Structure formats: C-alpha cells, structure tokens
Structure 1
Amino acid sequence: MQEPKSEVTALDTESARTSLISGLTSAPTPRQASGLFHLGRPLLGCIVVSLTLLASTGKTDADRDHHVIKRYIPSSNHIVEQLESIGGWDVNLHIFQDITPHGTKTFTNIIATHNPNVERRLTLACHYDSKYFNMFNFIGATDAALPCAQLLYLARSLAEPLRQASNPPVTLQLIFFDGHESFIRWSDRDSLYGSRQLAGEYIDRTSIGTLLDGMDILVLLNRLGSKNSNFINFFYDTSVWYNHMIDIEQRLKRNKLWYGNDNYFQDNAHFNVDIQDDHIPFRNTIRTLLLATYPFPEVWHTEGDNAAALDDDTISNLSKMFHVFVIEYLGLSVLQ
C-alpha cells in the first residue's frame, strides 16, 4: 500500500492518481440493493461470549508464523493448502502475467468461495505479497502477513457454522491479492497488479471475473496487528458497516471480552483521505469497507515490520471483532 496524500510524500507530484478514487456512479441493481445496508442478525451477549472463546483458541499463531516470512516469493501454496484442508471452499487461482519495471512477471490471485451457488457474498480480502527491498530483509508482519492469518483463521474457526448454514441468503468469499506492492516506486502502473487485473476481468465478464458476482461489500484488511491500532471511516457509502464495527467494539468491552482500554475504531469520518489500496480498481463497481490502520504504523515499510511489531492483545481483539462481524452478517449459528 502507498501512503496517502495527506501524508507529506512524493505522491504530491503524482496528480494522475487522484482520479482513481470515486464513488459509485450508477444505481444499484436489485441484488446490490438487497445488500446495501445489510447488517445481519445481532448476537445476544451470551452468544458473543461463546463465539469469542472460539476466536481465542485456534491456530492463529501457526498461520501468523508461516506468513511472517519474506513473501515477495508468494506463499500461495500455503493458503491454498490450508483452505483445501478445511474443506467446503471452492478455490480458484487467477494466474496472469503483467509487465513490471523488472520485466514480465507472473502473479496469482486466490479466490475462495464457500457455497458458490449462493447469490450474494460478503467478501473479505487482503494482499499476500510483501514489498521487496534490496537493502534489508523486509518481512511485512503487519503488511500483510497478519491479515492473511486472520482470514485463514476465520475460515477454519467458522468451518462448521458455514457448513451448517441452511439456504443462506449470503455466503462468505475470501480473496488474497498478489502484486499489491510496487517493484520500484508506487504509481498507477507499478502497484496493485492483482486487484487491477481482477477488477478488469470482473468488468469484462470473464470466467474468473464472474466469480466476483454477487458481492455485497468488499472488506479489505491491511496493516493489522500493531499496538495502538487506530481506524477511521474512509468512505461515506460504507459508513453503516464502519459504524457497525464501532458497535461491535463497544459490545465486546461491555461483555468484558476486550484486552486493554484502547478505542480502535474512531467515531469520525475522513472521506477526503486518498488511500491507495486494493479497493481502488473496484471503487466504481463495488462498495469497500477498508479496515487498515491509520495513521500508518511506525514500522511500515521498514525492517522493523517483523514479528516483534505484532501485539497479541491487538490480534485477539481484532479477531473477535471480525468473527462477530462475519457471523452477524451471515446469520450463522455458533451454539451447538
């Protein structure tokens, strides 16, 4: 991800990219309208306690440890193997080539859909590559090993509730983008290789592109896991879901299921912040809830973005929030 223009960076000279962010320009289809303000079924306090116990006793560490490695050589095999071992996921590899400053490279997006026959999807996504620096070994623990681990953990811990869902109106989809980072310097051509290609195929109605049909919302995770995390509301058209995250955080605190006293989700809006991330190619067609810490972590794109930058309490709190959000949105049953 590139730092936003509100930060003092060289991006001030790259005015060509300012046109990339825009709101939805067309009226929603009937299917889109059905998910326009969908929040799902609120959970009772006792169920929140039950599911957060589930979200606190899994293999997050194993997923995290695997991904806290240099990932400019992509770890797509691990992601696919984990999803296939869980079962119930229709996993598709979107393999393509693109021209980079270092010549033509091959990229692989991973699209996993649970119960793909369901018309509507709640789509969670992150990127799984890490930026290459020739001066040092860049790990990218927050950017974005931890988001990958969170998605895999959700898939594993919610495997049974997803299997038990009977005639659900909406299902869960996971996307792992390749080629997020620039090879040399961030620009509209040297960045977002995976999301740009996939968005183009979605618009062109290719066989890969149609796998994205039915997305209610794209929930994009990035830069997660560091202490003192702070989130803001980036987009007006997904404010209802951002405010829902605020509500989930407060409910977890009321039920004494929160570590520490920090407020992660701020009750204010910053619609003018020009954030460059994998939502950009989709903004004219799909609404995005961007869950990425802002301001950027101090370790962002430094050698310090390693396992030591991750805070266990923060990881646990976010995991609980994501579980509540997904379970409520999908209306899953979490009690046996």
Structure 2
Amino acid sequence: MRSATECMHRALLSIWLAVLFFLLPSEAYRDVSDGTLKALPRPGKDFDIHDGAILSPILIPRVPGTPGSTKVLNHFTDFFRTSLPKWNVEFQNSTYVTPVSDGKEVPFVNFIAYRDPPNAAKGDVGRLTLVAHYDSKYEPKGFIGAIDSAAPCAMIMHAMRSIDDALTRKWESMAPDDDFLDDHIGIQVLFLDGEEAFKYWTDSDSLYGARSLAQHWDSEVNPGMSVYKTPLSSISLFVLLDLLGSKDPIIHSFYSTTHWAYQKLANVERRLRELKVFKSSGKTWFPDSSKNERQLSGGSGNLGDDHVPFLKRGVEILHVIDYSPDRPSGFPTVWHEMQGVKDDGEHLDTDTVEDWSLLIAGFAAEWMELEGFMPGSKTEMKRNKTEL
C-alpha cells in the first residue's frame, strides 16, 4: 500500500508531466549538436540486401501465419535480445478470419520492444513510439515488399542500436533517487502484423495487428495513481514509417498538432545534408517544412495505414510515408509491384535507405535529450577532455 506522501508525490508528478508535454514543442525539445549528427553510425554491411545482418532476413515473403512471418519475428527478437539486451520485448497476439482463410482463424503477432528509465514505473512513462509493419502481401505469391515495409523496420532497428549506449549513459549519470521529468521519457518500437489486405482493402480486411493492439491498449488500465491511465495514452508521439527506401521520397505533413515534430524531423534532414553526412542527393524530402499549420492540405486518415486505429483513439500521429498526389498511385513506382521495377531488395535505393536510418537516429536522439551522451556531442567532448 502506498503512503499518503507517495500518492501526493505521484499526483504532483502527473501534473508536471502534463506541463512538460504541453510545452514540449517549444520548450523541452533541444537540437543535438553538429558533432552528434556527424558521429551517427552508418549501417553499412548490415543493410546489404543479400547477407546484411539487419535487412536481409526481412527481405522474404512474410504473410501472417506463415513460416516466413515467424522467421522475421524471430529475427526481431534475436536482434533486440542480443544487440539491445536492456530493452523489454513483448508480443501481442490476435486471430482473425480473413477473406482467403476458408473460415479458419489466422494468427497475427505484434512485436513490441521498449526501454524505460530505470527508476520509473511503467504507467508513468510517456514513450516516443516508432512504428512499421512487417508483414507482406498475400498476393501476388512471392511478393517481398522492400519499401513496404522491410526497409523501414531495418531503419528503426539500426536507429535504436545507434542511440542505446547514450540512453544507458544518460540514465546511469543520474542519482538513484533522481526524479526529474526527463526520467519519465521512454522509447518504444512497434513492428505490426497484418497491415496488408488479403483480398481487397476494406475496414475489415486490413490493419489487423494495428486494430487489435490499439483496442487492447485502450482497454488495458495501468495501476491506480499512474500518470497514464492506459498504455495507449502513454504514447507521446506515434511515428509511422511506411513505403520508405526509394530515391527522392516526398513526405508531407498531415496533422497540424504534430506539424512541429514534422518540422523537427525536416530540420535534422536539412542539417545532415549541410554537414554532408547524407549519401543521397536531391532536394529536401519534406516539402511542407516551411509551411505553418494552417497551410497543410489535410490529414492522412484518408490514407489507410497502421496509424488509423490509433488516430481514432486520440493518439498524436506523425505519418512518415512517401506519398505525392502528383503520382498516378500517389506512392513510389515500386509500390505493390511484382513486374518490371519490383518492390524488392534490388530496387531499393541503398543510399536513401541508409540515410533514413541516420535521420531516424538523429530525431530519436533529440527527442530523448541525448546531447552530451552521444558520441561526438559537445558535452561528451568536454567530459573527455576533463578526464584527460
């Protein structure tokens, strides 16, 4: 049983955290230094499409409920348990009858990995949430789905490995009894199953894993006096990556309430280009970065994707999808293609894929306030000189 003092402390913490996230766009978010951006590691061989340790195991057919899906899920699990052992790994399971399953239940498995500050209760942590779907299309047979969404999964994996040591250094630098607000900022990865339709895209034949997880987290209640009532409400920002890996992506901003985060992501991209860290050439990926909230064209709720069940429940969404209304389909030319320019590993733009992984790492480092703990950061260099 909690004491009255502890209950009062947690109530005050709830108020202060609410203030923190209200101020986050203008007050709590700080840019990382040029040194940090220059020192971000590239994935290199890990993104080789034939035998790269991170990307190549995902470049196989991975239809829900098939051995390929299980193999990719095991790859995620092995990666986090070996490369990121301080992360917690969980799974959320569901079953649905699909239009092609002859009345049988098909299993869907969502992969969840998160890392929270060491002294914070689970219900008190607001998490930056990075999301991609890992399933591939049922038809045509043998479809790979490199941009859709094997490459985005790999980008997130590399980015999390890039910032993990800095997270450790940051949290280890705090005294055991520290209870500062930024102690209650965590990070989370969701690899969702069953995004693709089995036959025709409808509300019931699509987003199987996302629909299940959003409903589950909305109904699951954290312990009393927690800062966040449900796991769903603890999502500070839901960053969905989809259809990424083609050259010259076009990423629009769809929601006024997260346009500031879109602009922060665009700012990291601009700085990486100016520092000549990017390998890919071309114009900015974020054409709406100079617009204000009132100039945006509208929400991406019209684009069926894994964010929709979360958006409907009030979660703040940053939809990072390569989409332009000027294209015939709106999406990259390889989208859902099995003929000619296919959506497979051979048609990924390697430089762009690698650059995305750096961009996501830089954005996550800023959100998690890792300046001073990342290699190359100003504070780390000062600390090293002092130790010498």
TM-score normalised to structure 2 length:
0.74
Are residues 1:261 and 2:295 paired?
no
Could you tell me how far 1:247 is from its partner in structure 2? Answer: 1.2
Is the 2:87–2:114 Cα contact (8 Å) retained in structure 1?
A: yes
Q: Where is the strand percentage greater, Structure 1 or Structure 2?
A: 1
- Map of 1:81 onto structure 2: 78
- Map of 1:69 onto structure 2: 60
Are residues 1:45 and 2:34 paired?
yes
- Map of 2:205 onto structure 1: 190
Could you tell me how far 1:56 is from its partner in structure 2? Answer: 4.7
Partner of 2:252, secondary structure, is: strand
Could you tell me how far 1:109 is from its partner in structure 2? Answer: 0.6
Q: Within 5 A, what are the aligned runs for 1:2-21?
A: none
Are residues 1:223 and 2:243 paired?
yes
Is the 2:43–2:158 Cα contact (8 Å) retained in structure 1?
A: no
Could you tell me how far 1:313 is from its partner in structure 2? Answer: 1.5
Could you tell me how far 1:315 is from its partner in structure 2? Answer: 1.2
Q: Within 5 A, what are the aligned runs for 1:1-336?
A: 31=17, 34-36=20-22, 38=24, 40-51=29-40, 54-57=41-44, 59-61=46-48, 62=52, 63-72=54-63, 73=66, 74=69, 75-86=72-83, 87-101=85-99, 102=101, 103-115=104-116, 117=120, 119-133=125-139, 135-166=140-171, 168-205=183-220, 210-259=230-279, 260-267=281-288, 269-273=296-300, 274-283=302-311, 284-295=313-324, 296-303=331-338, 304-332=342-370, 333-335=373-375
> Alpha carbons of 1:29 and 1:77: their partners in 2 closer, same or farther (altered >3 Å)?
farther
| RCO higher in structure (CA 8 A, sep ≥6) | 1
Structure 2: tracts of 5 or more residues without a match: 1-13, 175-182, 223-228, 325-330, 381-388
Could you tell me how far 1:206 is from its partner in structure 2? Answer: 5.7
Q: Distance in 2 between matches of 1:58 and 1:120?
A: 34
> Alpha carbons of 1:42 and 1:195: their partners in 2 closer, same or farther (altered >3 Å)?
same
Structure 1: tracts of 5 or more residues without a match: 1-27
Residue type matched to 2:162 in 1? Answer: S
Alignment size in residue pairs: 305
> Alpha carbons of 1:212 and 1:132: their partners in 2 closer, same or farther (altered >3 Å)?
same
Could you tell me how far 1:58 is from its partner in structure 2? Answer: 6.6
> Alpha carbons of 1:235 and 1:169: their partners in 2 closer, same or farther (altered >3 Å)?
same
Is the 2:132–2:149 Cα contact (8 Å) retained in structure 1?
A: yes
Is the 1:234–1:271 Cα contact (8 Å) retained in structure 2?
A: yes
Q: Distance in 2 between matches of 1:206 and 1:181?
A: 29
Partner of 1:69, secondary structure, is: coil
Q: Distance in 2 between matches of 1:281 and 1:154?
A: 25
Aligned residues: CA RMSD: 2.2
Could you tell me how far 1:272 is from its partner in structure 2? Answer: 4.8
> Alpha carbons of 1:150 and 1:188: their partners in 2 closer, same or farther (altered >3 Å)?
same
Show structure 1 runs of 4+ deviating over 3 A. 28-33, 55-58, 209-213
Q: Distance in 2 between matches of 1:157 and 1:329?
A: 14
Q: Kindly name which structure, 1 or 2, has the bigger radius of gyration based on alpha carbons.
A: 2
Residue type matched to 2:153 in 1? Answer: C
**Identity over aligned pairs, percent:** 30
Is the 1:88–1:115 Cα contact (8 Å) retained in structure 2?
A: no
Is the 2:91–2:110 Cα contact (8 Å) retained in structure 1?
A: yes
> Alpha carbons of 1:30 and 1:201: their partners in 2 closer, same or farther (altered >3 Å)?
farther
Residue type matched to 1:241 in 2? Answer: A
> Alpha carbons of 1:31 and 1:197: their partners in 2 closer, same or farther (altered >3 Å)?
farther
Q: Distance in 2 between matches of 1:69 and 1:29?
A: 47
Residue type matched to 1:124 in 2? Answer: L
Partner of 2:314, secondary structure, is: coil
Is the 2:116–2:185 Cα contact (8 Å) retained in structure 1?
A: no
Residue type matched to 2:259 in 1? Answer: S
